[in-house]
C-alpha cells in the first residue's frame, strides 16, 4: 500500500498553486506531510475516522518536531547569510536536501502506519474527509483556501 506515497506527494506538489498553498500552511504550523498522506489515504479509499487521524497526528509529531522542524529552522536561519557566503550557501543546499529526505521518510512512516487499515466499511473515505480530520488547527480563511488547493490537486492525482 505504501509504495506510491512519495510519487503521489511529488505529483500533487507539482500542480499549479499547490507549492504556494503548502508553504502557507507550513508557515502557519501545519504538517504538510501529514496532509499529503491524508489526501493519499483518501484517494486510496481508506476509511477516515477521528481515531485514525489522531493516530497519524500522534505518530507524526515526534519526527516533525525532532527532525524536520530543526532542519528547516537551521536552513531558514542561514538564508540571508548564505547570499554572501558561498560555503554557507552550499551547506544550506545540503541542508535543504536533508530536509527533503526527512520529509520523504516522514511520508513513508505515516503511510506504513496506515498499512493495517484495510479499505473500509466506514462512510468517510474521501481525501476531503482525511484532510479535514488531519487539519483541525486550520482556522483562518487563507488556511482553508490553501487546504482546498491541496485537496483539489489531490483529487486530480492518481494515488
Question: How is 109-159 classified by DSSP, letter by letter?
Answer: HHHHHGGGS-B-SSS--SHHHHHHHT-TT--SHHHHHHHHHHHHHHHTS--
| Span 134-159, pLDDT tens digits | 776 766 777 777 767 777 777 777 77
* pLDDT of 125: 54
Q: Is the pLDDT of residue 84 over 70?
A: yes
Query: In this structure, what DSSP letter does residue 14 have?
Result: T
Least confident of 73-87, 93-107, 117-131: 117-131
| Span 20-56, pLDDT tens digits | 999 999 998 899 999 999 999 988 888 888 899 999 9
* pLDDT of 123: 46
Q: How does the average pLDDT of the chain come out, rounded?
A: 87
* pLDDT of 121: 47
1: pLDDT confidence band, cut at 50, 70 and 90? very low
pTM score, whole prediction? 0.81
Report the alpha-carbon angle 104-64-86, nearest 5: 70
User: CB neighbours of 99 closer than 8 A, spacing ≥ 6?
Assistant: 68, 71, 72, 75
Amino acid at each position: 500500500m505504501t509504495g506510491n506515497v512519495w510519487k503521489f506527494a511529488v505529483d500533487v506538489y507539482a500542480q499549479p498553486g499547490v507549492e504556494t498553498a503548502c508553504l502557507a500552511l507550513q508557515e502557519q504550523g501545519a504538517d504538510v506531510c501529514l496532509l499529503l498522506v491524508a489526501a493519499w489515504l483518501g484517494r486510496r479509499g481508506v476509511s477516515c475516522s477521528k481515531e485514525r487521524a489522531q493516530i497519524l497526528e500522534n505518530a507524526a509529531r515526534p519526527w516533525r518536531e525532532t527532525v524536520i522542524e530543526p532542519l528547516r529552522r537551521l536552513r531558514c536561519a542561514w538564508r540571508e547569510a548564505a547570499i554572501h557566503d558561498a560555503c554557507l550557501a552550499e551547506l544550506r543546499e545540503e541542508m535543504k536536501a536533508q530536509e527533503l529526505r526527512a520529509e520523504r521518510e516522514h511520508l513513508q512512516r505515516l503511510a506504513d502506519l496506515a498499512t493495517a487499515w484495510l479499505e473500509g466499511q466506514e462512510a468517510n473515505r474521501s481525501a476531503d474527509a482525511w484532510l479535514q480530520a488531519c487539519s483541525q488547527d486550520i482556522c483562518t480563511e487563507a488556511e482553508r483556501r490553501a487546504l482546498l488547493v491541496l485537496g483539489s490537486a489531490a483529487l486530480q492525482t492518481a494515488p
